[in-house]
Amino acid sequence: LQSQRPTVTVLAGDTALKDDGSDAIAGLTQAQKALPARFFYDDRGSQLFEQICDLPEYYLTRAETAIFRQYADDIAAATGACDLVELGSGSSTKTRLLLDAYARADLPLHYIPIDISAGILVESAEQLAKDYPGIEIHSLVGTYEQGLQQLPPASLPTRMVTFIGSSLGNFSEAESDTFFSLVAETLTTGEYFLVGIDLQKVVAVMEAAYNDSQGVTAEFNFNMLDHLNRRFDGDFQRDRFEHWTFYNADACQIETYLRAKVAHQVRLATLDLTVDFAVGETMLTEIARKFDLQQMQSCLDEHSLPVIRTFADSRGWFALLLCQK
């Protein structure tokens, strides 16, 4: 079988990636400074995230992989031939287990990976095209919103949008409501949504996953500063900050910050923005919400995305929910 070259479409150019920095300005001028987690993912950040997934403390990827190993055939059987749209596909490593299942069942599949990091997206599409010559691949470079709003028309009988890895955890409750509404608007009745969620568990286990002993997660956090410097001609100095992360039990979320070790000023030239940091002042770089299964099921239900199958790992640490509009 001759493999087709995967196509790559950059959605709505650079402004599509909010290169104007309006959300960075908004976040840096708030009382509690905060930056969108999206800024982790330049090409280096995506590489670091791949390293995180292999860390002994980062149980999420292994738990979700175990679920895919056990249930990928069930998911393929449930949807049949489909357009598989993946939001935040990264290296597509776990999704390969799904692609294998469709291949085993002889089900036609079109794969539409969407990611903001062009480097990892293009590289993994080339490799996938070699390994899965029967699958048509159409990569989209852009944000989740852009991807969902600019999907190619469905070419197979149904569609499934996947949002795995607990990427959902980066959204506040309000943001996830908006996101689910957008997914539901995008799908037609009968189409599928597959979402991976990290579940609430012993605090020490969750905290270790975001504060690993090799310091890769700290490096991932600091890399956001390098990315901002490059993107906005900034002068953030990483040695003026420290990595700080903990589980906020009231909000049921890991919160990760960069905390200023000294009072100082940062200039982001292309944003024409000067930011003051007091000693000890924190800048929120990420929340990672941890979910309750029943609550999430009702939430999806309320968004017209009822759960038809729930798959969990043996420890009940992580779940994949298959929803059908």
Interface ranges with ligand AVJ (CB under 6 A): 52, 60, 165-167, 169-170, 210, 217, 220, 286, 288
Report the first-to-last Cα separation within the chain, whole angstroms. 35
CB 75 within 8 A of CB 81: no
Residue 314 CB, nearest approach to ligand AVJ (Å): 20
Nearer to ligand AVJ, 128 or 288 (CB): 288
Nearer to ligand AVJ, 132 or 220 (CB): 220
Nearer to ligand AVJ, 23 or 73 (CB): 23
Instruction: State which residue has the least CB distance to ligand AVJ.
Output: 288
CB 37 within 8 A of CB 258: no
Residue 317 CB, nearest approach to ligand AVJ (Å): 12
CA distance 231 to 253: 29
Residue 98 CB, nearest approach to ligand AVJ (Å): 18
Nearer to ligand AVJ, 142 or 165 (CB): 165
Q: Is 264 helix (H, G, I), strand (E, B) or coil?
A: strand
- Identify the helix (H) or strand (E) that includes residue 122: helix 118-131
With 0-12 / 13-18 / 19 or more C-beta atoms within 10 angstroms meaning exposed / middle / buried, residue 288 is buried
Contacts 24+ apart (CB under 8 A), 263-269: 264/237, 264/240, 266/234, 266/235, 266/236, 267/234, 267/235, 268/21, 268/24, 268/28, 268/228, 268/232, 268/233, 268/234, 269/232, 269/233, 269/234
Nearer to ligand AVJ, 9 or 93 (CB): 93
Closest CA to 209 of 90, 67, 319, 61: 61
Nearer to ligand AVJ, 29 or 213 (CB): 213
118 contacts: CB under 8 Å, gap ≥ 6: 8, 10, 43, 141
Dihedral sign, CA of 290, 305, 39, 281?
negative
Residue 144 CB, nearest approach to ligand AVJ (Å): 12
Nearer to ligand AVJ, 132 or 210 (CB): 210
Residue 78 CB, nearest approach to ligand AVJ (Å): 24
What's the gap between Cα 315 and its chain centre? 23
CB 323 within 8 A of CB 303: no
Q: What is the DSSP code (8-state) at residue 116? A: S
Nearer to ligand AVJ, 46 or 139 (CB): 46
Residue 51 CB, nearest approach to ligand AVJ (Å): 10
Residue 58 CB, nearest approach to ligand AVJ (Å): 7
Residue 257 CB, nearest approach to ligand AVJ (Å): 12
What's the gap between Cα 35 and its chain centre? 15
